[in-house]
Amino acid sequence: MKECLIIPAAAEGIVDEAVVQRVIIEAGGCPGTVYGKNGKTFLRQKIQGFNNAARAWPWFVLVDLDNDAECAPLLCAQWVPVLAPYLCFRVAVRKVEAWLMADGDSLAAFLGIGHNRIPAEPEQLDDPKVEMVNLARLSRRLAIRKDMVPHREAADRSARPMPRDRLNTFKQPGGPIRQVDKPRA
């Protein structure tokens, strides 16, 4: 059995956790414990501890840019002025949902919608999380709609966390996140 490096991580929420685990797998590592999942404020408070741990062992931290800085490098500089040698600190512009939409063909297949429905420039969206929910509303798959679209009586109809079993399909080979670094034509 092939051994791989176990990489602990930190992320804002469960969608980010699924993305972090998939990125680690795609990089040839084995996902370790994913800390956080309590929002950005928690990660901001703990980032120096993660950075200190990354002096001796690889760590991966993922946060959303939101509107906290003008660009990702500025947010990185604010949070971690001096990166430890083994810290991989990444900022999703604007939210991790935009990263998922960047691989439009895979996301369209996952959601069961036409690829032309996926925004061509998801990083330019004001609220990618709301757009992701709206895309799920279009799904031909009842399970996707039930899992991702808020109930009518919910106070905040724009966001509903995806159940963990649905998120796990994001981590599987062939799920979204395959080609998020390649621009679409």
* 88-101 per-position pLDDT tens digit: 999 988 788 888 89
Q: Among 78, 93, 108, where does a domain finish? A: 93
In a shared domain, residues 23 and 86: yes
Number of domains making up the chain: 2
CA distances (Å), 116 to each of 54, 59, 130, 138, 153, in order?
41, 36, 18, 12, 30
In a shared domain, residues 72 and 15: yes
Q: Which tokens hold the place of 14?
A: 């469960």
Residue 168 lies in a domain: no
In a shared domain, residues 10 and 77: yes
In a shared domain, residues 83 and 107: no
Structural domain boundaries, residue 113: 97-162
In a shared domain, residues 126 and 88: no
* Confidence (pTM): 0.73
What integer pLDDT is reported at residue 170 of this predicted model?
Answer: 54
Residue 106 lies in a domain: yes
In a shared domain, residues 87 and 63: yes
Residue 69 lies in a domain: yes
In a shared domain, residues 22 and 63: yes
Give every residue of the chain whose pLDDT is below 50, as ranges. Answer: 153-155, 157, 160, 164, 171, 178-185
What integer pLDDT is reported at residue 155 of this predicted model?
Answer: 47
In a shared domain, residues 15 and 86: yes
Residue 183 lies in a domain: no
Residue 89 lies in a domain: yes
In a shared domain, residues 113 and 155: yes
135-164 as b/e, with b when 16 or more CB fall inside 10 Å?
bbeebeeeebeebbbeeeeeeeeeebebee
Q: Which tokens hold the place of 12?
A: 């804002």
Three-state DSSP class for 35?
strand
In a shared domain, residues 158 and 110: yes
In a shared domain, residues 83 and 102: no
In a shared domain, residues 20 and 87: yes
Residue 1 lies in a domain: no
